[in-house]
A and B are shown apart, each in its own frame.
Chain A
Amino acid sequence: MHDDPFEVLRRLAGDPVPTDADRQRALARLEHAIRTETPRSRFRWLTPIAAAVALFVVMVGVMLVTRPTAVEAALGEIATAARLATPQEIPTGSFLYTRTEETSLGITEQGDLIGIEDPVAYLLPITRQEWDNGDFQQLTITTHTPIFFDPVVEAAYYAHGWDRSDGVGETVTRQLTGITSDLATTNWPTNPNDLKQALDDHASQSGSDLPLDIQVFHLATNLLRGTNPTPALRAALIELLAQLPVTIANQTPDGSITLTITYNQPPATRDTITLDAQGHLIAETNTILQAANSVPAGTNTYQATHTVPIIVNSLDTPDQ
């Protein structure tokens, strides 16, 4: 069987359609919940107050015990610069252009690559270009030659046609319309404390088993990366980062800063992001800190560099 397992799953899953009886039973349960909610709802207002009080106590405790003044100072400067920046509005017929060079670690399991006994790992670099004007997106993705750690693996990789399945050497362009995300369309608060609360709430609905701070760090990174935030929101996001358990990994004379956050769920992982002096996200990495699935500790499982977004007037690759 050579089918892609995900395609097999999709075919198997089919397109289930509820019967009228399913619908009626479900609606009846909802209506029952609506009818019976009132008596209990009188006490529900206590829950958010208790949660707010608990959150306040925790935040005060954390700030008193571990207040990262160096982080706050460094990020405060960048936040100020971000807040004073001119809003980047996209004129009609123009696009916001970003170019990302990223490398992901591909891992196979034992015996997956025929002729190789051990699991193998290789790096797969791609170039991702994005033109975006809010309603329309064009993505152009070029997959580059993988980087191998072992010539035997490299030979087996090409011998078995994995380069074709990875699309090595190919450039694919997709044009998308009407694609919006909740993150991009939400009017996020621009007060860092309110923003933290909003992102906490958003993260708590995700069902993820990651610690809340890590989820908020990822949400803030996503907002900085892909949503062309307003100057006020960018500044708030940067100030919010100072409330998280981040440390400064590097600072350069041009004002950029690299922040690190670590979490210890197996496998322990460290994420870093680099912001330039105006608060643009220009680099990120995910690093595995414990060996897992044949990947040695310290390996970057993902790394990317992003250009600062610019306004362009066509869907051609701009000279930079």
Chain B
Amino acid sequence: MDGTDAEVIEASWDDPSVFAEVFHRYYPTVFAYVMRTVGHPDGPDVAADVFVEAYRSRRRYDTSYPNARGWLLGIASHLVGTHYRRKARLRSVPVDETIEGDFADEVAERVDASRSTILTAMGSLRPTEREILSLFVFADLSYREIAQALGIAEGTVRSRLNRSRTKLRNLMAGSNEHRERGQEAPDA
């Protein structure tokens, strides 16, 4: 059906099948965001869950928002966090440690060794820092949009992103230094 996202969602209150239109409009966007943050093999399932969760929450959608992209990405961000917490519980170890370990392990499997450093380093970020970073890097939201989406000050977004950038840069530099030393060692 035509109409804004809000009109489609409102129509789905009475005719649930209409909600499939939201899926057709945003599945590629949500899929791309989730795959960038979760990857294989769980990414496609999480992306599918986003629309099931959105469907179940559709009556809480504020129809004064004509565009549902931010709402869906907010749900996606929440489910990505839930995904890592669930995996942590399954392994029965402290949640924070496992979130970091899982994230690092999974992304490291998806890239070559020279670049896994930076993604491993993402595992060292706090969950809130990672959430902001993900929305900035993988969803291309601006400082102000992230601030609005998460209900935090723009300055907080900026300082957390600066901190994340510094952490990642340090770890990249440290890894390069380590590699360079490792390459020099045999000659010594």
Contacts and interface: CB of A to CB of B under 8 A. Distances in A.
B151 A181 contact: no
Interface residues of A, number: 69
Given A16-B36, A18-B27, A207-B131, A107 B163 contact: yes
B145 A202 contact: no
Contacts of A188: 64
A79 B50 CA distance: 40
Given A1-B172, A8-B118, A182-B65, A104 B158 contact: yes
B74 interface: yes
A160 interface: no
Interface string A217-250: 0110110001000000000000000000000000
- Chain B's interface: helix, strand, loop or mixed, by majority? helix
A226 B144 contact: yes
A202 B64 CA distance: 11
A30 interface: yes
A6 B20 CA distance: 34
Interface string A27-44: 101110110010000001
Contacts of B168: 5-6
A6 B165 contact: yes
B65 A286 contact: no
Interface stretch (A69-77, A90-98, A208-216, A275-283): A208-216
Given A34-B19, A302-B158, A181 B148 contact: yes
A156 to B, nearest CB: 15
Given A33-B56, A34-B16, 20 more contacts: A6-B165, A8-B172, A9-B119, A9-B133, A26-B27, A26-B48, A26-B51, A29-B49, A37-B56, A107-B159, A183-B148, A203-B151, A205-B60, A207-B150, A218-B152, A222-B144, A286-B155, A293-B163, A302-B155, A302-B159
14 contacts: A9-B137, A13-B138, A15-B32, A16-B31, A18-B28, A22-B47, A27-B23, A112-B166, A186-B65, A187-B64, A188-B64, A205-B75, A206-B74, A208-B152
